[in-house]
Amino acid sequence: MVLTVILIFLLVLTLIIIFISYKQSDRILYRKFDKKPLVFSPEQFDIPYKDVSFKNDEGLELKGWFIPAKVQSDKTIILLHGWGLNKGDLFANTSFLREQNFNLFYFDFRSSGTSQAGRSSIGYFETKDAQNALDYICKTYPEETKNIGIYGLSMGAAVAIYTAAHNKSIKCVVSESCYFSYEKVVARWARLHKHVPYFPLVALILFFVRKRLGVNPEDFCPKNNIKKLAPRPILIIGGKSDKLTPRHDARNLFLTARHPKQLWLIEGAQHTDCAQKAAPLYQERLAEFFNTNLGK
């Protein structure tokens, strides 16, 4: 009798864990929380820009800004935001690149900013959005995109590495606050924000994510794609106080990448705040990198 009760209890507990894990996979695949509003925009700073809109492979409308350089230029930088952020967050810290005579192209991934909601994945679906964005901007602005660089923040950095690895037209990459492994960053986020252990919950959540996507997101993460960038250069930026994508993630990216490559770890910087901690050197380093590799 006691054994039967124990077995029933374990069965019920197992079913509850499976149910919770499946529902939690929704948080990765369908962002149900409110979008973060746009706080910064070119209009606020009297910077000329053009609103752009294009469809991704699933027919979702993605929206962005094309900001022309101060003087006509054939050099464009594509800028990719992180999960839960939007193009306005990037604009605040990178708009200075316009002064260096680069065209800037910002857009919101699906379910972010002003773009249409749809399935998200912290990387896999977003690589498709980035490819659609690259195709759109090159077709719409062919003269301005003869020389292309790409910058990504957090998830956007992972997407930037994948996109550049599969598009030789991209001449250089800046990766900031980037994760090394998809599975490890999901596990780390769950531990830091929800105090959830890897086993059994996170392991089951990742299992359901893989099954529901039909692919393994780990195949699209930086550790499996960064080698493909060479001989194009990459600048890897990380915060020494970053707990979500810690310094050893940045070092692993650097060790895995092939030359030419640079690693810059910023003292006191936490996740996604390297620009604030390292200003004005941050602006100098980014400007120097893009000027060197896209041409002055």
Provide the pLDDT for residue 30.
66
Convert the pLDDT of each residue in 90-100 to its tens digit: 999 999 999 99
Q: Which residue has the higher pLDDT, 40 or 261?
A: 261
Per-residue model confidence (pLDDT) at position 213: 80
Average pLDDT over residues 102-117: 94
* Strand intervals (E) in the chain: 50-55, 61-67, 75-80, 103-107, 147-153, 170-176, 234-239, 261-266
CB atoms within 10 A of CB 48: 11
CA distance 222 to 77: 20
Going by C-alpha positions, the residue among 47, 64, 62, 56 that lies closest to residue 102 is: 47
d(CA 29, CA 177): 22
Residue 287 has pLDDT above 90, yes or no: yes
* pLDDT over 80 at 23, yes or no: no
The answer, yes or no, to whether residue 33 has pLDDT greater than 60, is: no
The pLDDT value recorded for residue 36 is: 74
pLDDT for res 158:
97
Split at pLDDT 50, 70, 90, the class of 203 is confident
Look-up of token digits 């005579």 = 101
Question: Which pLDDT value is given to residue 10?
Answer: 62
CATH superfamily assigned to domain 39-181+221-294: Alpha/Beta hydrolase fold, catalytic domain (3.40.50.1820)
Q: Determine the longest span between alpha carbons in the chain, in angstroms.
A: 83
- Give pLDDT, residue 122: 80
Model's pTM, two decimal places?
0.91
Q: What single-letter amino acid sits at 71?
A: V
| Average pLDDT of the segment spanning 21-44 | 72
Once rounded to an integer, what is the mean pLDDT over residues 17-27?
68
Dihedral sign for Cα atoms in the order 269, 275, 276, 279? positive
Q: One-letter amino acid identity for 67? A: I
| Number of neighbouring beta carbons within 10 Å of residue 157 | 30
Position 252 pLDDT exceeds 80? yes
| Rounded Cα–Cα distance for residues 79 and 226 (Å) | 18
Question: How much is the CA Rg of the chain, to the nearest whole Å?
Answer: 20
Question: What sign does the dihedral 66-69-73-79 (CA atoms) show?
Answer: negative
